[in-house]
Amino acid sequence: MEADPETIDAEKAAQWAAAGFNRISFGTQSFVDEELKAAGRMHRREDIYRAVPVLRAAGIRNISFDLIAGLPKQTHASWQQSLAEAMERNGLTTPVAARMLRVGERSGNMGEMMERIADFFDEELARWVAVMTRLIEPVLMIVIGLIIGVIVVLMYFPIFQLAGSIR
């Protein structure tokens, strides 16, 4: 569902969650008040920051922000600021990545910083996969060995019973 940040309150959020809505998309447009005012938007940055915890408290965790590039009074730096704030508000960045985004904002190299962040997380994921594989593989081998051992014992069990009944 799409909502304007200034219209969110606890009662509405609880009703939406009870009705089964699990995703709210904010028509944020920008995190810069001057741009929002110039675009004729009723909400301000503080409304966005107030609305997100209200939704999360109601159990709505999937929250997205619609941003617009090319708003009146928007600069390259303010666009980068809005993009970085949207990522931080949604928990899409770690503290290190957030700092790298701020460096990208200041230096004007937001794209390059985002690529570096993506490369870092790709490498981190590859490390975790390798570690988990090394941990799970021996456990899996033991489990398979036990299953095969149980099957072999179960196959021989009737033979032992038959041999015991012959005497």
Whether the pLDDT of residue 61 is over 70: the answer is yes
The residue-averaged pLDDT of 27-33 equals 89
pLDDT confidence band for 28 (50 / 70 / 90): confident
Sequence-distant (6+) residues with CB within 8 A of 8 are 47, 50, 51, 54, 55
Are 79 and 68 contacting, i.e. CB atoms less than 8 angstroms apart? no
The two structure tokens encoding residue 166: 């012959």
pLDDT confidence band for 27 (50 / 70 / 90): confident
Parse the chain into domains and list their residue ranges: 2-75
In whole angstroms, give the CA distance from residue 86 to residue 88.
5
For the chain, give the mean pLDDT.
88
Instruction: Report the predicted TM-score, pTM, of the whole model to 2 decimal places.
Output: 0.56
Per-residue pLDDT tens for 140-160?
999 999 999 999 999 998 888
